[in-house]
Amino acid sequence: MNSPLKLIDLFSGAGGLTLGFTRTYGPEGLPAFKSVWANDVDKSAAASYSENFGDHCVHGDLVDLLESGIELPDADVVIGGPPCQGFSLLNKKRKADPRKQLWRPFMDVVDRCGAEVFVMENVRQLLSSSEIGDIKEQAHAQGFTVADGILCAADYGVPQIRHRAFVVGARGADPSSIFPPTPTHREPVEDGDQVKLFADATNSLPDWRTVRDVIHDLPAPVGTEIRDVPPPLDLHFGRNPTEKSKKRYRAVPPGGNRFDLQANAPEITPDCWVRKKSGGTDLFGRLWWDRPSVTIRTEFFKPEKGRYLHPVEHRPITHREAARIQSFPDDFRFQGSKIEIARQIGNAVPPLLAAAVARVAYELLTGSTSSESDLVVREPSVRYA
């Protein structure tokens, strides 16, 4: 391969998928993929994408852009995640959500740019939705063979238990022969769990990465706003909690949650949590040092939204800590307000998970095998010293 394969990223967000693809290098030491066009309806996310990958992320509604006759460059692969809220269990109106149909303009772009491979990402509920049959039917009509599956980010080096659905289509090749990609990490196995040890074919792999692995070196956060200092400390800021919030933080032990808050400090436990006797075990939860994180969502800075308290410090995790848990390197430059950046971090496909799928796309496009392609994922990091 003498030049990088060209990719288009739709519903790109800040570019987690693109980062995984473009930080993947071929045997000649050159990037395996290069972004040539992208689109997102979120202005700050489009700005982050352009800041990191070149000024070609078009801000706007994709349907409107296509109807206006916008010119698209040729591309080898189209990647992207049509907004997941249409399928998410958190969306109570998902059955009638028009965002469930945004896979249609995605496939339109695939057709217009002449791509030989596409990668569509979404929440895992996509694969049990009524729309998955329509997606596959359309892909087959456009000449693609399709494979799909649910991947766990922790299996690919991301310190986070995050499950995502992927649909991979290829012309002239069968993705099911190499998809899902081979894991790079494995769930730790108990010493006495001989049955699992016998059944587990990935015993030689390193264990899942943990929260400790990626945030232990960061100092206490400073201030409550984005700072004009080098990474990682630019996004390593805190909040300004009330005294009641501080007391609540201190009442939650390592690995604990709202039930521990109620047991240890019932007088400052919200009444709605007292009345709710079951469910919501991650609410006001504290992360574990030596496990992967739970799924990082867009409001990770609010512990009442999930298990987002620091493993030992009495505070929520910071933007920098959330970005690292998502496997963003410190040199990735986010644009926007702290609320907008949090949304970009939480909505992103973890770049290391994307890199695993990039290896599949590379092999489908070049015809090489893993051993022949010798792909390398570079994970630059700017660590606090």
The helix (H) or strand (E) run that includes residue 45 is helix 43-53
Mark whether 152 is an active-site residue. Answer: no
The helix (H) or strand (E) run that includes residue 166 is strand 163-170
Is there a contact between 80 and 107 (Cβ–Cβ < 8 Å)?
Answer: no
In the sheet where 117-122 sits, what is the strand order? 57-59, 33-40, 5-10, 77-80, 117-122, 163-170, 145-152
CA gap 185, 167 in Å, rounded: 22
The single residue listed with the structure tokens 């729309």 is 131
Q: Which is it for strands 145-152 and 163-170: parallel, antiparallel or unpaired?
A: antiparallel
**pLDDT tens digits for the chain (385 residues)?**
578 999 999 999 999 999 999 999 887 788 999 999 999 999 999 999 999 999 999 999 999 999 999 999 999 999 999 985 555 444 455 455 454 589 999 999 999 999 999 999 999 999 998 889 999 999 999 999 999 999 999 999 999 999 999 999 999 999 999 999 999 999 998 765 544 544 455 568 999 999 999 999 999 999 999 999 999 999 999 999 999 999 999 999 999 999 999 999 999 999 988 888 887 889 999 999 999 999 999 999 999 999 999 999 999 999 999 999 999 999 999 999 999 999 999 999 999 999 999 999 999 999 876 444 456 666 544 444 3
Instruction: Quote the pTM value.
Output: 0.91
Domains of the chain by start residue, with CATH:
5-185+349-377 (3.40.50.150), 211-345 (3.90.120.10)
Is there a contact between 79 and 21 (Cβ–Cβ < 8 Å)?
Answer: yes
Is there a contact between 346 and 365 (Cβ–Cβ < 8 Å)?
Answer: no
Is there a contact between 7 and 78 (Cβ–Cβ < 8 Å)?
Answer: yes
The helix (H) or strand (E) run that includes residue 22 is helix 16-22
Residue in 84, 113, 152, 272 annotated catalytic: 84
Calculate the CA dihedral of residues 286, 290, 295, 296 and round it to 10 degrees.
70
CA gap 300, 311 in Å, rounded: 14
CA gap 249, 315 in Å, rounded: 7
